[in-house]
Amino acid sequence: MAKRFVFFYFMRNRPDRIREIVPSHIDYWKTSRLEKYLGGPFADRTGGLISFETTSLDKAPEIVEKDPFVTHDLIDMKWIKEWMPE
């Protein structure tokens, strides 16, 4: 049974590098074919939130760790939490 997760993050203050990596970040999430994917940046562009489903708590960090923002060390703080929307 799939579980729903949220990936909540704040970016490092590296705007030029972030702009360079944004297309890869978007492509990664849109082509990952995750169930019920929904995501986007905060209006002030300090970070973002991504929600998706996967089969286990172990799988969620594996998915997040492949995000280009993570692999290029552009995230200052991040959380991955199982979410149970009503």
Q: What is the CATH number of the domain that holds 57?
A: 3.30.70.1060
Contact predicate 5/26, CB 8 Å: no
Q: Report how far residue 43's alpha carbon sits from residue 65's, in angstroms, rounded to the nearest whole number.
A: 24
Per residue in 8-29, pLDDT (tens digit) is 999 999 999 999 999 999 999 9
Residue 15: which domain range? 3-83
Is residue 1 classed as helix, strand or coil in its secondary structure? Answer: coil
Distance of CA 24 to the CA centre of its chain: 12
**H runs (alpha helix) in 4-76:** 15-31, 59-65, 68-71
Query: Total structural domains in the chain?
Result: 1
Per residue in 54-85, pLDDT (tens digit) is 988 899 999 999 999 999 999 999 999 999 98
Nearest residue to 17 (alpha-carbon basis) of 25, 27, 9: 25
